[in-house]
Structure 1
Amino acid sequence: MKFAVGRQMSLVVILLAFSINTSAIILDIKDEINIPGAEIYYGRFKDRGIYKLFYSNDNSITAIKYGEQMVGSVLYRRPTPVDIYVQEYKRGDIRIISVHIYNSRSNKLYSSSYYHIQDEHCYLTTRDRKINFVGNVVYLEVDVHSEKVHPLVKKVGNGDYNIWKSLTASYGDYRKALRLRFNNEKHVLNPILHIENTSARSAPPNALFGLFARVKWKPGDKVIKVWIRRGRFLTPLSIRIPPTVNNIFKPRNITRMPYYFRDLASHFQPVIPIHLVIDISSHEVNTPYLIIMANLERGQWLYTQYTVVPLVDQLFLSHMVVNSHVNSELYRVRENEFVSHVELFKNSDSRIQYVVVNVTKYINHSLPPYRITTEIKRLYKLYCMDGNWGYLDLTDSITDEYLDILYNIPVDGSDVVLSDLIDPLRPS
């Protein structure tokens, strides 16, 4: 079913006239700034989709629209309060909008509808169409400094700690919130915003990205406890913000879990690798094997770490590091090695960007200890030539003193040695 714009405009005029006479409100979800009495929550879904939830229990709302498009039945004034949930799923120029209206007291569903908006037209659609567009997983944004949380997230205090949980059917006290959950749909906590208070207003917010079912956080603490969802199982993991010692930032792996890499001969069945692509141009995480700690502001630099979570033997993982934005492949693992984490250094005063790929290599020997581990740091610099962007591999042309500069960053940005990094590593 398709609604003509002219018909919609007429209906809007009628509704506006009605609202003037009865103090009613038309909820326009396109105008986020001027939505009276509505709470707004954000998230993401697959392929860089953007998710929003608008929630209101204002009984004076009589209609819901998106700009000039009517999305939702006209609501007459009811003697009992209602809960209105409007969810918007956007990718590109396509929007799928769902509208659910419940009786606040009895939990009775008054109406449920789905709409497809594209090219200034609004079409009725179905929940199956929404699922095909969105997928089975929605990532719910959590701001650790906000008192408000998405209806499908539970926040509790435990002394100095706060814990956020993605609600499941086992939380009987939250039956009213669970009416937004349908079969085969999953919600995970991602990203976790403002994990520390050091970012300036002009900088992008620091955040933790991953498939989290639960997060435990204490203000000012450098350790964040997370539970990663992997199928039906939850794996606890402690994430550590890299330390600052005597005003010097010391980057290191944010997880302390050991990595295992067994010899291929020890497996009785053929190894089928899990392909893990680490895309340093994106913060999207759709696998339990990756966590991203992004945008730590340290002196003149923004630091981001892409960490491989050691949930399985690394022999089963096939790692590749890319930048899809500039269509560049930096590194692909070779035999008897794996990538533990990738570090991204962006200079806030220039367009300079360095990438360090941390590789662990196993070398077999005929004598004890039989296998020797070698840690290799592969360094890359972003460059532009004739309008084409790419990465220059500096691994074989650098000395340790240059890496020492990146791994000893003054947090106040006052040490001029950072600017010296620009020239020694510039290709001749």
Structure 2
Amino acid sequence: MMVVSLRCNLVFTCLLIIFIETLDSRLFDVEYAELYHDIHAVGSFRDGGVYYLFHATSDKARLIMYGQTFLYSSFSYGNTINDIYVEKFRRSDEEIIGITICSQFSFNRFVKMYFCLLDGNWFPTTSEDKNSFVGGPLNLQMDMERWEVHPIIDARIIMRGNAAILYYIGNEQPDNRESTRSQLWADDGNFLISPIYNFEKISRLSGDLPSSLIAPITSFYQNLNENTMTITLDKTGNREYVLKVVHANTKCGQSRNIITDLPKIGVNAPNLVANRSQNIVIDIAEAYFQPSNMVIFCRFKRGGWTYYQHSILPIHEVNDMDIKVIDSDTHTVIYHNTDDEFITYIEVFFHRRTKMRYVVVNIKRLVEPGIDTLNIYEFKSGTTQQYVKVEPTNVRYVQEILCTIYNDSRA
């Protein structure tokens, strides 16, 4: 009898171990999900908030836990295989988890739930509380070299001279197609596409950090033949803005604004800088945290240089814009526009080998908007780090700098 009992206990123990291992393989732990699961999408939101989206299926994620806390079980669905999307919203020690379960065949049928962390415990919460926690638009990263994007980003083919793929935020417009998953987030949050990585082929080949485009984008498409990208922006309706990607081999001394649209110049007399309502700070040290009325091209490879451009969108009248250019790393105000001018765009050049750095401020006069001027600032890293203006009287030195930074092909 003792032998039979030992054998029964051994069989029971083996079955228990198999059950636990099977269950463990179907357990999705949200606490450390970004370490152990493939991240489907990444984003950011106000005040340093970070967003992750994970995708699983109910046959692979039977239990969803946060550490030791149970959040959701798919056992009630039996053998039906459903898609599961797990969202993680985190800012400092605060966190909200979203779980969406939907049929793989009809995305109009789904269940969504949110949980918030309060005093070390998880409690159910609402979509409204989640949106309040995010506190504004959620910026979704998009990599043009990855086929996976957030399901809220829809795509369709359009004809604009040539066929192009239009990518757009799909949750704010009705769409009855059974194939789109963006409706899982219908009226649930404000999403933007930013930054967009690897959209420019020349920098893409360098093997270094990818180039990127930063703006409050709601849709975009590329015309590769013309080297342009057309975008629409948050809170500007369906108006399209055309961006011209800077070529690799620009002529000596040639500069060009990436925004092809003309600035909005008011008919009234310019306001004094102190009375202008649009106060814009361009921080060349913090490219990813900028005002919403700007487009930023980051990390373009141009010979031995890494190139950045901060360009003002033609949304507001320029004679009502007060623009200051700073470097928060060195606590320096590089330039502040005067009463009779406006800044169109800023260029930053950093040489990867010599570490030389230049900032070029492109300016137009309000009284003669067709006339372009520019100020060049050279970074000096001696005992005190500062930006020194290259005086226009030193014509030869200015020409040498322009030839170097606009036409240098050295690696």
Task: Bin the TM-score by the shorter chain.
Answer: 0.7 to 0.9
Q: Are residues 201 and 62 of structure 1, via their aligned partners in 2, closer, same or farther at CA, if it must alter by over 3 Å?
A: farther
Structural mapping, 1:14-413, within 5 Å:
18-21=19-22, 24-29=25-30, 30-32=32-34, 34-35=36-37, 40-65=40-65, 68=67, 70=69, 72-76=71-75, 78-104=78-104, 107-110=108-111, 112-116=113-117, 121-124=120-123, 126-127=125-126, 128-158=128-158, 160-167=163-170, 168-173=172-177, 176-183=181-188, 185-199=189-203, 200=205, 202-219=207-224, 221-231=226-236, 233-245=237-249, 250-262=254-266, 264-265=268-269, 273-284=277-288, 287-363=291-367, 371=368, 373-386=370-383, 389-395=385-391, 398-399=394-395, 400-411=398-409, 413=410
Q: Are residues 264 and 70 of structure 1, via their aligned partners in 2, closer, same or farther at CA, if it must alter by over 3 Å?
A: same
**TM-score, length-normalised on structure 2?**
0.80
- Shift in Å at residue 265 of structure 1? 4.0
Cα shift readout 1:284-334 (whole Å, capped 9, x = no counterpart): 366442101111101111101000011232012221112223332211111
Cα distance in structure 1, aligned partners of 2:44 and 2:267: 39
- Shift in Å at residue 137 of structure 1? 0.8
With 304-313 and 321-330 compared, the bigger mean Cα shift is at: 321-330
- Shift in Å at residue 263 of structure 1? 5.2
Cα distance in structure 2, aligned partners of 1:177 and 1:70: 29
- Shift in Å at residue 71 of structure 1? 6.5
Structure 1 contact 213–234 (Cα < 8 Å) conserved:
no
Q: Mark the runs of 5 or more structure 1 residues left unpaired by the alignment.
A: 1-14, 364-370, 415-428
**TM-score, length-normalised on structure 1?**
0.78
Q: Are residues 356 and 103 of structure 1, via their aligned partners in 2, closer, same or farther at CA, if it must alter by over 3 Å?
A: same
Tell me the matched-pair count: 382
Cα distance in structure 2, aligned partners of 1:220 and 1:105: 38
Cα shift readout 1:143-192 (whole Å, capped 9, x = no counterpart): 22332221101122346522101102322226643222445x31111112
Structure 1 contact 165–214 (Cα < 8 Å) conserved:
yes
Cα distance in structure 2, aligned partners of 1:33 and 1:248: 48
Cα distance in structure 2, aligned partners of 1:274 and 1:307: 15
Q: Are residues 20 and 157 of structure 1, via their aligned partners in 2, closer, same or farther at CA, if it must alter by over 3 Å?
A: same
Cα distance in structure 1, aligned partners of 2:182 and 2:207: 35
Q: State the partner residue of 2:6.
A: none
Q: Mark the runs of 5 or more structure 2 residues left unpaired by the alignment.
A: 1-15
Cα distance in structure 2, aligned partners of 1:16 and 1:49: 40
AA matched with 1:322: I
Cα distance in structure 2, aligned partners of 1:227 and 1:382: 35
Structure 2 contact 379–386 (Cα < 8 Å) conserved:
yes
The alignment yields a C-alpha RMSD, in angstroms, of: 3.3
AA matched with 1:215: F
Q: Are residues 393 and 220 of structure 1, via their aligned partners in 2, closer, same or farther at CA, if it must alter by over 3 Å?
A: same
Larger Rg: 2
- Shift in Å at residue 209 of structure 1? 1.1
